[in-house]
Structure 1
Amino acid sequence: MITAVGLAGYAVLVGVVAPSLLARARWAYRAPAAAVLAWQGLMVTFVVATALAVYHLVITEQHVHDGLVGLLTVCGVAADAPPGHAPSAFGDALVIAAPIAVVLLPVGWLLRCTWRARRARGRQLDMLTLVGEPAPEYGATIVEYDAPAVYCLSGPGSHIVVTRGALDALTEEQLLAVLEHERAHITGRHHVLKIFVDAFSRAFRGLPLARQGKEQTNLLLEMIADDRALRMYSREALATAMCEVASGRAPQAALGAGGSGALIRLRRVLTPQPRPHRAAWLGIVAASVAAPLLPLLVACGP
């Protein structure tokens, strides 16, 4: 019981307290890639800690004391389990079903969100074949639409879409800057991370980690793409382009250059801050990777 309470407390800490602290952390916008990893680590940690807490609440006392061996015994995996520890079919199935359900909930939503994203992306690609005009010089597809917008459809056969309004509003350098921004989304496979956080937010509605994790991850992914564009183009060009396309609406399955938190990103682009020290960056990465392992060490210890 003590282990279950400890794991439940850890899950509450990760799911309720930590998100507010991470959302306000000053280093996050200076190291967006590390911050994305931190949010992913918190989500995985919450699922692991919650599943193990549920396991320790429903498992028999003997299995609790046996730790990981007890869990393997319930699953019928432990080769050297005593005869008395043999699975009792229905009872042990219920014991395993509870923590597995905690894991399968976000996994089920992940499969559903992936399917929905592919369907939406497929509809957009079908529409592009009808109304889009290839622009090989930009590596993009031009759509005759007055509102300035630039976005990408990531995945197999990825496309970058530029509206006629964006072509009219942007200079050559500004256009190239936002195109580089979109290529960063494609090469970084940011759509996969967006699907992951969307699935988590749907699986655990109302949880601060779900709400803030989705908002912050989407914003941080845009910052990562901004940083990629700034390697090749000036801050003024990217900032001006962001202002021009901020009002453009990208389809549901797309990642747009206007993106979320345009004002926050604009300030960040125009007033750059020093990146965290390498030691601090490595510490953040190590903590993000270690966080999901801590509940396993607690639950599976002797």
Structure 2
Amino acid sequence: MITAVGLAGYALLVGAAVPPLLARARWAHRAPGIAVLAWQGLMVTFIVATALAVYHLVMTEQHVHDGVVGLLTECGLAADAPPGNAPPTLGDALVIAAPIVVVLLPAGWLVRCAWRARSARARQLDLLTLVGEPAPEYGATIVDHDTPAVYCLSGRGSHIVVTRGALDTLTEEQLRAVLEHERAHISGRHHLLKILVDAFSRAFRGLPLARHVKEQTNLLLEMIADDHALQFHSREVLATAMCEVAAGRAPQVALGAGGSGALIRLRRVLTPQPRPHRAAWLGVVVATVAAPLLPLLVACGP
């Protein structure tokens, strides 16, 4: 029981207390890639700690004493399980099923969100074949719409979409800057991370971690794409282009250069901050890797 309480407290800490602190951390916007990794680590840690806490809560007294090995032995799954053991009871099945449900819940939502995103993307691609005009010189598809907007549909057969309003508003260099931003989304496969955090937020709706991880990951992915564009274009050019397309709305399945968080990103582009010291981001990486391992050591230890 003490182990179960400790694991539940750890899951509560990761799911409710840490997310607001990480969302306000100043270093996150200076190293968005490391920050995305940290958010993914919190998601994995919460699932592992919650599943193990549920497991220990429903274990029998014998299982609690022997830990995970005891459970496997009781169910005849351990290598040194004595022959002739009685077959697993309904209680044994529930012990195994309870933590599995905690893992299958986000996994099920992941499959559902991936299917929805794929269907929505297919509809957008079908629509582009009807109303879009290829622009090989930009590696994009032009859509006849007055609102300046630039976005991408990532995945197999990825497309970058530019509205006619964006072509009329942006200079050649500004357009190249936002196109580079979108190419970063495609090459980085950011749509997969977007699906992942969407599934987690739906599986654990109401959890502070679920709300923060979706908001922050989407913002950080845009910052990563901004940093990529800045390797080829000046800050002034990218900032001006962001202002011009900020009002443009991309489809939910797409990743756009404008949209929510544009003001935060604009301030970041115009007022650059030094990246965290190597020791700092290395510490974040180590903590991210160690966080989900701690509940495993607690649960599986002697």
SS in 2 for 1:67: helix
C-alpha change, 1:277 and 1:75, in structure 2 (3 Å) is farther
Tell me the CA shift for residue 186 of structure 1.
0.4
SS in 2 for 1:182: helix
Native 8 Å contact 1:74 1:96 kept in 2: no
- The C-alpha deviation readout for 1:76-116, integer Å capped at 9, x for no partner, is 42011235865424221111111100000000000000000
Native 8 Å contact 2:236 2:270 kept in 1: yes
Tell me the CA shift for residue 72 of structure 1.
2.6
Q: What pairs up with 1:1-302 in 2 under 5 angstroms?
A: 1-73=1-73, 76-82=76-82, 86-302=86-302
TM-score by length of 1: 0.98
- The C-alpha deviation readout for 1:234-291, integer Å capped at 9, x for no partner, is 0011101111111001011100010330100000000000000111111111111111
C-alpha change, 1:195 and 1:76, in structure 2 (3 Å) is farther
- The C-alpha deviation readout for 1:122-164, integer Å capped at 9, x for no partner, is 0000000001111111010000110000000000000000000
1: CA distance, partners of 2:145 / 2:177: 20
TM-score by length of 2: 0.98
- The C-alpha deviation readout for 1:54-79, integer Å capped at 9, x for no partner, is 00000112112222312433554201
Native 8 Å contact 1:151 1:256 kept in 2: yes
C-alpha change, 1:60 and 1:154, in structure 2 (3 Å) is same
Tell me the CA shift for residue 9 of structure 1.
0.2
Native 8 Å contact 1:31 1:275 kept in 2: yes
C-alpha change, 1:23 and 1:90, in structure 2 (3 Å) is same
22-31 vs 76-85, which moves further: 76-85
RMSD of equivalent CA atoms: 1.2
Native 8 Å contact 2:75 2:88 kept in 1: no
SS in 1 for 2:194: helix
Native 8 Å contact 1:152 1:255 kept in 2: yes
% identical equivalent positions: 85
SS in 2 for 1:138: coil
Matched to 2:255, the amino acid is: L
